[in-house]
Structure formats: C-alpha cells, structure tokens
Amino acid sequence: MISLRLARVGLRAGAGIGARRGAATISQAQKKREEDAKQLASLERMASSELPKDFDIKSQQLMILDLKFPTPLSKSAPGLQGKVAWAKETVQDKLTSIWSFRKAYKVGLIPKPSILERLTVSSKQLSSHALATYKSMNSSFARGDIKSLSRVCSEEQLKKLKERIKARPKDQTVVWQGDEGDNGEAKILSFRTVDAWNSKKPEDHCAQVLLRFDTKQSVAIYGPKGKLLSGDLKKIVPVREYIIMEKKMWDDNDWTLRKSVDPPE
C-alpha cells in the first residue's frame, strides 16, 4: 500500500512537472516566433530602404551557368577509373544539354528543332544567327561603333570592348573583313536552360550556350594618311574563338554575345 501511494504521488508530481515544462516549452516557442517575426520585419525594412523604388531584379546580370567544354579522352585521368570518370562526365553534360535544348524550344527560346537537331543539340537557325552576330561584333568593334555593339553584346562583353576601343590611338583606323566565300561555322558545345525564378512560366526562362566559332578573317590597322601599320586585308587567316551567348525571355533582345572564354589547357 505504501509503495502504491508513493507511486500515485510520483505520478501526480510527474504530471505537474511535465505540465509546467510543457507550458514553458510552448511559451519559449511563442517567444521565439515573435522574435523571428520582429527580425524578419526589421530585415524587410532594411532591404526596402536600401533598394531604390524603381529597382528591377530582371535587369540584373545573371551568373554564368555550368557550361562545359568537351574534354578529349586523351586528357582524361590515367587508368580505367579516369576513363570511366571521363565517360560519365561527357554523357552527363550531353544529357543535360539535350534536356536544356528541349526546354528552350518548349518555352520559345529557339524555334522548333528537327529530331536530328534535338539529338545532336544543334540548330541551323541559332548557328546562323550566332555567326551573323559574331561578324557584326567584329566589324562594329573595328569601326568603334558602340551603338551597334550594344545591339549584339551583353553589358559584360560591351564594357570590355568599349575599354579596348577607348585605349586605341585616335589617329589609327582598324578594318576587319570576313571571308566572303566562307561563312564559317558556329558549333554548339554545351547548352543550358533555367527557370530563373522557379515560376514555371515561359517568360521567366533564360538560356546560355557555349559556341565554338571557326571563321576566316583578316584585319589591318592604318595610321595617319592611310599608312598601313600592321596586318593585311589580303591575308585571310583561320580563327577559332569560344563565346557564350545568352537569351532571356523577359528581355526584348535576341541572342547576345555574353562573354569570350578560353578553353581549359
């Protein structure tokens, strides 16, 4: 009987302690929620006070996506494990490019591709536009035509070219020519499409593509009175260049030249 009575007292005491602890826990949780709400409100006030009223997040520059340069098998790590890793990385990038290419068509970033174009991640229309844009960039840069450059280049690429034009001696004239008999080639190496705000709306998608440009061109630099300083317009040489192009569905611009890049050594 004594032991049973003690047990009952213990149960009542334990229940009381548990109730008090539960009440304390609820009180602490409520207090924490209130503190979090105050902190969030404070952060929102800080953010709203620092950003201008006409701030447009969609006008901000996007980061470069995970575009991949194709890696030759000869440059893979030695041994079977290196070959397996190379194959896995190559297949993964190819599948990602195929998926992104299909997504780009679905949201209207590129025209409807053929079945072969989908499988090979290629687009005659995009390649043709890329070549025309690339040649326009080169000729506009040679002339120092900033306005024309702004139509085909992103802000990042435009800034770099403007600095080079500004550093050019004012008494020099640059002339650039592409080989009229050879339009060249713009080959898609890697393709990425993203939903920038996870809204699942077509107008919130953008795409970036890594292209390899193979063209034939010539350049000449003339000084005062038309004196040839360097180069030769008659000497046409093959040029290979890698450039990332970008298109945003919320932007009025077509595909623009985002950035020149160098392949990994």
The model's pLDDT over 197-209, given as tens digits with 9 standing for 90+, comes to 888 899 999 999 9
Question: Residues with Cβ < 8 Å from 194, sequence gap 6 or more?
Answer: 65, 205, 206, 207
Question: Residues with Cβ < 8 Å from 132, sequence gap 6 or more?
Answer: none
pTM, whole model, 2 decimals? 0.75
Which residue has better confidence, 230 or 8?
A: 230
Mean pLDDT in residue range 152-167: 93
Residue 67 in contact with residue 210, Cβ under 8 Å? yes
Handedness of CA 75, 78, 84, 85 (dihedral sign): negative
In this prediction, residue 14 has a pLDDT band, given cuts at 50, 70 and 90, of: very low
Residue 62 pLDDT: 77
Query: Got the DSSP string for 3-51?
Result: HHHHHHHHHHHHHHHHHHHHHHHHHHHHHHHHHHHHHHHHHHHHHHHHS
Domain boundaries, the chain: 123-260
185-195 and 173-178: which strand pairing?
unpaired
Residue 77 pLDDT: 87
- CATH domain 123-260 topology: Nuclear Transport Factor 2; Chain: A, (3.10.450)
237-248 and 256-261: which strand pairing?
antiparallel
**Residue 215 pLDDT > 70:** yes
Q: Give the span between the Cα atoms of 218 and 235, in whole angstroms.
A: 6
